[in-house]
Amino acid sequence: MTAAAAVLPITRFRNKEEGKMPIRLTVLAVALLLGLAGCGGSSIEPQYVTFDYRSKTMSETEATAISNALETGQRSLSDTVLFGSESCQFTSNAETGRLELAINGNPVGSTANLVLRADNDTARPTNVCPAAVSPTPRDVAIQTSNNVRLGQAVVNSGEATLTINGERFSSSGLYMRFELTGLSGDYGVGRFEFLARNIDDPSDSRVIVVSNGNFAVED
């Protein structure tokens, strides 16, 4: 909308009481302001990173075998017999933490690598969390290799990490699945899941199971 188009003739009417503006003029003024605000503006898209997580104790050999089964599709993270049904939820948005998405390359016409980061300043789960589940992750970071295409999932191509109580948990050597499902300009939408173990304390037998991961973040 040009400035010239925005200037409309407004006739001044008087009510019975001096100084009052008639309803028709008020409505016109509001409509004009809304029209000006909409010219050249952009819609505000929601931004968030969210996922479910649970903790499972397993040996390194068992974790590797399960990761292989997940990679080949013989198992899924929805298997409640294997992974249990109780979980907590991590959510980060503009109000609770910081979000970052960096897209390097062209995932539409070619391939790209992505970096997704989110933290949760509250470090508390966003639902009623069972006591048996590990403490809430402080942050999550996902770095993919340079083979991400829009609408195509990549498996074990990169690394996902969590920070829990100051210790780092990594998907390296286990399982990670990542997919960029939508891209509009710099606004990326996708999903992820992975297994992660403590790389700061090798004696820690916990494996963090991350499922139902979703993100919508602007680059």
Yes or no: say if 154 and 146 are a contact pair by the CB < 8 Å rule: no
Q: If you write DSSP's letter for every residue of 98-142 in order, what string do you get? A: -EEEEEEE-TTTS-EEEEEEEE-TT-S-SS---TTSPPPPSEEEE
What residue segments make up the domains of the chain, in order of their start?
A: 3-38, 48-218
Residue 95 Cα to chain centre, angstroms:
13
Higher pLDDT, 12 or 44: 44
Model confidence pLDDT, tens digit, residues 29-80 = 333 333 333 343 344 688 999 999 998 999 999 999 999 999 999 999 988 8
Q: Hey, which residues does 52 pair with through a beta bridge?
A: 89, 211
Task: Assess whether pLDDT exceeds 80 at residue 205.
Answer: yes
User: Residue 27 corresponds to which tokens in the numbers above?
Assistant: 């409505």
DSSP state of 21: P
Of 30 and 208, the structure prediction assigns the larger pLDDT to 208
This prediction's pTM: 0.76
179-186 LR contacts (CB < 8 Å, sep 24+): 179/151, 179/152, 179/153, 179/154, 180/107, 180/114, 180/148, 180/149, 180/150, 180/151, 181/150, 181/151, 182/150, 183/103, 183/107, 183/108, 183/150, 184/45, 186/103, 186/218, 186/219
**pLDDT for 89-148, tens place per residue?**
888 887 777 899 999 999 998 889 999 999 986 656 666 677 666 678 889 999 999 889
Quickly state the pLDDT bin for 173 (edges 50, 70, 90).
very high
